Structure 1
Amino acid sequence: MAIRQRFVALNESVRLRGDAAQHEQTDAWSNRDLIPLPPSRRTWGWFNFFGFWSIASLNLANWQTPNTYLTQGLSVRQAMLIIVVGRVFIAMFSTLIAWAGLKWHVGFTVQNRYSWGLRASYIPLLQRILLNFIWNAVQCWNGGRLCAVCITAIWPSFARIENTFGPDMPTTTYEFVGFVVFWFLSTPFLWIRPENFRIPFLVVCTWCSVGMLAWMIWALTVAKGVGPLWNTGQQIPAGSSWSSSWLIMAGINQSIGSLAAGITNGSDFSRYASARRHYVIGTITSCLITGILVSLIGLVTAAAAQKIYGEVYWNPPDLLMVMMDNGNGSSKARAGVFFLSAGFAFTAMFENICGNAIAGGIDLAGLFPRYVDIRRGAIITFLAAWIVQPWQLINRATTFIAVLSSFSVFLAPMIGIMACDYYILRKRRVRLSHLYRTEDSTYYFWKGINWRAISAWICGWGPTIGGLVVTVRMDPSPPRPLVQLYYMAFLIGFFISATVFYVLNLAFPVPDMNQIDDVDVYGTFTAEEARRIGVVPLSDNTFLDGINGPEIQTSVVSGEKGQALQDYNA
């Protein structure tokens, strides 16, 4: 009995509590961070979204993107063409998927419930959680390399620290200390709620963008121009199986796929928008301007550094170490390197917190709403970095990382289902109260599973999975059709799943797909939004007198109130 009482007490102490006055009920499907966001929590203006997408561009991967295509034999112009086209597609798909969050103020976790069914929505959710765990760990490791450069800039002897790890440990003490420092410095930022991200975005964007521009200007000034890298022409080997057209197609597919995870859960952050135009302006300008410029600056800097050092350094930490002669350089060189590496590290830190830790927190909240909110989920995601052990992944399992980078094969079909369901089948209409209950819910389907979504999703990745397998295995002579399908995996997966899902819904229709609540159950909308959508505002006592709390969630407005509702909507 005593043990049972202790368990009950422990359970009560760790369970989340919501403010009933703010409709923050906590149960098996809902908590404060899962309900549709009320106007008071929608604080993101255009700069928040500009900053959010900028930190996804102001990073090491985007800096080195041109190198990916140049090493395949493409020219500089072709590489930049891929980057520009890819960024246009990213802006388009991001806005397409995030619109449900802008209108209904729910995130990816809840958004999938009306497509997959309340229980089957765990399928996309678990995939996202897996990605968040692993990419968080990998990002911490990459950020640790930048921290190690910062430490070396302050204490040059750190570059010569003795390796105390044995031969079975696939890393060095130098790298591991950088990882530990980065992880611990990142942890306090997990307590910042997404509503308050404006100042970190401002600091990160200013610091890193100024640093990148200063680095490029310094390199051009010292080198007095760019090196041969800038004039690289098309150099596809004569015996290559692929023409430049196919390599460009593969590059565009890879460019979109690299941000597919961010596209998929776009509504997690778009729901914080104070107005729809803020999301559109901030996202499009950042995707097109920042995303393209960072790759261009990285290309110019690498080309200028080629003239200075006689070698091409694409990886910023490597070039920074060369610039200060592994810590043996002048104090001015070390100060400049510290400023640059700290800017990169801080950007990587907040990119990881937003894109992996916070997103992971939201996804975990969807699995355990009674016990996990955004903050707790973010902490769990960050702690998982020690279980994932990124030093094993980075230094040994290169194939595993390649699989993760190609995970858009599975994400693109999800995006296709989301787009088809929301825009074509439901005509942008969602019944919010039915997303948080199983009893009499339109979105419960068959035992909480919409088999149409599962079938369409499998059809989307089925044709491209073979190309992924042979590419990751690096087969010397893979079947050409498989690789061609893989080179177009994102677009193929998106359109096949969208089409199959549409056909299945025509053949096996779901009733009441375009229904909405009569009443704004959660106090989600402003008066203007409620009138535009066609629901009665929760605060409108003229129509809601006598209806409150749980009764609103399950009632159908009828009688005098029903007539009043019709008059209101008219």
Structure 2
Amino acid sequence: MTLRSRLRSLEQTIRLKGDEARHEQTDAWSNRDIIPLPPSRRTWGWFNFFGFWSIGSLNLANWQGPSIYLTQGLSVRQAMFILIVGRLLISAFSALIAWCGLEWHIGFTVQNRYSWGMRASYVPLLQRILLNFVWNAIQCWTGGRLIAVCITAIWPSFARIPNTFGPNMPTTTHEFVGFVVFWFFSTPFLWLRPEKFKMPFLMVCTWCGIGMLSWMTWSVVAAGGVGPLWHQGQRIPEDSQWSASWLMVAGINQMVGAIAAGITNGSDFSRYARAPKDYVVGTVSSCIITGVLVSLSGLVTVSASQKLYHKVYWNPPDLLMVMMDSGNGPWTSRAAVFLLSAGFAFTAMFENICGNAVAGGIDLAGVFPRYIDIRRGAIITFVAAWVVQPWQLINRAQTFISVLSSFSVFLAPIMGIMACDYYVLRKRRLRLSHLYNPQGSYYWFWHGINWRTPVAWSLGWAPTIGGLIVTVRQDADPPRLLVQLYYTAFVVGFFTSAFAFYALNVLFTAALQLDQYDDVDVYGTFTAEEAKKLGITSVEDAAVVGLRAAVEGAATYGSIEGVDRKRIGSTR
């Protein structure tokens, strides 16, 4: 067998296979995991979305949220105001961006094709793939620290094992073992399809939620009150150049921006909803209720613990180690610490799998649909943690972490374009058949690129990038206007790009066909009720079976424009 034959055989082996009778054809633009989801795969009810957003709230970052604002000199009331307003905005933007997935059952991977052009859609995809790789690695490291606490609670001597790494390694053996154990325990769950996530959500939310409330209750009872931190008033330094109002604006922007990556690809998960109300009820209730309660619990627990241990411990692993005296405490305290740290660890595990690994798998599937599906992409994202080396980032490159946390400077303009295009220009109408076949597609534009989009995107982040740079560099006396723009980067970027994109489309209309959609449900995507609401002929109607075959044949051998319009009706 020649080398060419072997390579061809290998390519056929690793190439994805799909049931073409179910429209799961595999080619340069399509595979089973990026086609419009049929009703049989839309299994998420309201609790799935409640759990999905809850695991994004029941984590260390949200627990530590108030610390950021209190250390800046804001009061407890002002910190809680930031948290509440931020959560309301997160809920609103999440529903706004994810609605396309609820109506047309496509994900972020495909959603960008009608705005950027089919080739240029790789630009936002590559941004998110980079973020998924890095945040997955960092989350594995954070979860590893919790696993190290669990192991110490069982075997106290683990905390005292000698460090076998040299001085050039920015971590210890104790921390590294925790990372390795967390990574290997997480790996089997990568084989779970998103349709099957209900049970993990139920288990994790119940375990971690009860654990946090129990921890807060115990700390208040043991301390005989909430402690002095709870009563902290405004303490902004007199020489500070920022008033409380600007610090609150910056806090709200930072809070929304920190979860911008999860908002941007909201349709990747909203497309699994059984009905739009399931997404709205689950998302809004979890974002607001769970998110605020976790931060409140963290604030109360840390404040009460200050009375017990005479020091403020915002980082849960540090506080848990103190509670059991680094493993030297009684078995009761070690048992409690084990349960608490395990609850945090499992939450971090499923947050990472959903928010980073699976999301990364979907994005990779959009770039390499012939060879990568969600499962393969999730595995690749997870393996990349070893390449990224999070111990280097966490312990050395704090500036790099700050840049990643501020990546909403680039993501907010993408969201502004998505919202403007879908709601204002296209009036929520899409041609699904043209999103998967470039020949004659309305979304091909010029060589697969809609030049208006990168221009509008650049105009969105241009005003705020200067503030990001001077903030990350920690300049002593940065230009005030640059920092103010950075403090409002999410809103500025979102609306600047949205207005710019609208203006460019008005000035340069070309033949964009903005309000087109298929007359026939080409992919068997919609229920009869959905098809009727959209004005589309459902495949469930026996009278159009022949028309569906004609449409599929045209899509296979060329543009859908090849189908006889007299048979399927006029263009909408």
Amino acid at match of 1:357: A
- Report matched runs for 1:5-24 at 5 Å: 5-24=5-24
Change beyond 3 A, Cα 1:442–1:546: closer
Contact 2:547 2:568 in 1 (8 A): no
Equivalent positions of 1:474-485 (< 5 A) are 474-485=474-485
Deviation at 1:559, TM superposition (A): 6.5
Aligned match of 1:456 = 456
- Counterpart of 1:346? 346
1:504 has 2:504 as partner: yes
Distance change (3 Å), C-alpha of 1:562 and 1:180: closer
CA distance in 2, matches of 1:555, 1:343: 52
For residue 562 of structure 1, report the CA deviation from its aligned partner.
Answer: 3.7
TM-score with structure 2 length normalisation? Answer: 0.98
Q: Which amino acid aligns with 1:292?
A: V
What's 1:494 paired with? 494
SS of aligned partner of 2:169: coil
Shift, 1:435, TM fit: 0.5
CA distance in 2, matches of 1:430, 1:455: 23
Given that 2:539 and 2:548 are in contact with CA atoms closer than 8 Å, whether structure 1 keeps it comes out as: no
Give how far 1:510 is off.
Answer: 4.2
2:553 matched to which residue of 1?
551
Conserved 8 A contact 2:522-2:548? no
Superposed counterparts of 1:28-427, under 5 Å? 28-427=28-427
Q: 2 CA distance for matches of 1:501 and 1:517? A: 25
- Provide the C-alpha distance between the structure 1 equivalents of 2:501 and 2:286, rounded to a whole number of angstroms: 32
C-alpha separation in 2, matches of 1:351 and 1:259? 12
Structure 2 CA distance, aligned partners of 1:416 and 1:228?
Answer: 43
Separation in 2 of the partners of 1:104 and 1:244? 43
Cα deviation, 1:28-61, whole Å, max 9, x if unaligned, reads 0000001000000000000000000000000000
AA at the equivalent of 2:532: R
Contact 1:302 1:313 in 2 (8 A): yes
Provide the secondary structure at the position in 2 that maps to 1:308.
helix
CA displacement at 1:546 relative to structure 2: 5.7
CA contact (8 A) 2:249 2:488 kept: yes
- Three-state SS of the structure 1 residue aligned to 2:72 is coil
What residue identity is the alignment partner of 2:534?
I
1:539 deviates by 3.3
Q: Distance in 2 between matches of 1:90 and 1:550?
A: 40
For residue 519 of structure 1, give the secondary structure of its aligned residue in structure 2: coil
Q: For the Cα contact (< 8 Å) 1:521–1:552, is it kept in 2?
A: no
Cα distance in 2, alignment partners of residues 32 and 66 from structure 1: 42
Q: Are residues 562 and 187 of structure 1, via their aligned partners in 2, closer, same or farther at CA, if it must alter by over 3 Å?
A: closer
CA distance in 2, matches of 1:312, 1:120: 49
- The SS at the match of 1:536 is coil
Deviation, 1:558, is 4.2
Q: In structure 1, the residue corresponding to 2:236 is in which secondary structure?
A: coil
Contact 2:39 2:527 in 1 (8 A): yes
Return the offset for 1:550. Answer: 2.9
- Contact 2:213–2:297 (CA under 8 A) maintained in structure 1: yes
2:42 and 2:272 in contact (8 A); partners too: yes
SS of alignment partner, residue 545 of structure 1: helix
1:208 Cα offset (Å): 0.2
8 Å contact from structure 1 (residues 543, 561) kept in 2: no
> For 1:77-124, what per-residue CA distance to the aligned partner results, in whole angstroms no more than 9, with x for missing partners?
000000000000000000000000000000000000000000000000
Q: After superposing the two structures, state which structure 1 stretch, 51-60 or 554-563, moved more.
A: 554-563
Q: 8 Å contact 2:58–2:208 — kept in the other structure? A: yes
Which residue of the partner structure matches residue 534 of structure 1? 535
| CA displacement at 1:540 relative to structure 2 | 2.3
User: Which blocks of at least 5 consecutive residues in structure 1 are unaligned?
Assistant: none
Q: How many residue pairs align between the two structures?
A: 566
Tell me the residue number matched to 1:521.
522
Question: How far apart, CA to CA, are the structure 2 residues paired with 1:473 and 1:10?
Answer: 49
Secondary structure at the counterpart of residue 464 of structure 1? helix
Q: 1:167, 1:475 → 2: CA distance?
A: 31
- Asked whether the 8 Å contact 1:544–1:561 carries over to 2, the reply is no
Distance 1:240 1:542 in 2: 72
Contact 2:84 2:292 in 1 (8 A): yes
Range with bigger deviation, 366-375 or 540-549: 540-549
Match for 1:527: what amino acid? A
| Distance (Å, rounded) in 2 between the aligned partners of 1:25 and 1:103 | 22
Q: Secondary structure at the match of 2:466?
A: helix
Q: TM-score if structure 1 supplies the norm length? A: 0.98
> How far apart, CA to CA, are the structure 1 residues paired with 2:23 and 2:393?
43
Verify the 8 A CA contact 2:520 2:548 in the aligned structure 1.
Answer: no
- Contact (CA 8 Å) 1:51, 1:205: kept in 2 or not? yes
- Quick one: distance in 1 between partners of 2:568 and 2:160? 77
Q: Is the 8 A contact 2:120 2:449 kept in 1?
A: yes
CA distance in 1, matches of 2:281, 2:568: 39
Compared CA separation, residues 303 and 544, structure 1 to 2 (3 A): same
Deviation at 1:561, TM superposition (A): 3.0
Distance 2:496 2:219 in 1: 47
CA distance in 2, matches of 1:261, 1:559: 41
Deviations 1:325-383 (Å, cap 9, x if unpaired)?
Answer: 00000000000000000000000000000000000000000010000000000000000
For residues 20 and 427 of structure 2, the distance between their equivalents in structure 1, rounded to whole angstroms, comes to 32
Given residue 115 of structure 2, which amino acid in structure 1 is its aligned partner?
Answer: S
CA distance in 2, matches of 1:328, 1:77: 38
Q: Is the 8 A contact 2:75 2:235 kept in 1?
A: yes
Point out where structure 2 has 5 or more consecutive residues left out of the alignment.
none
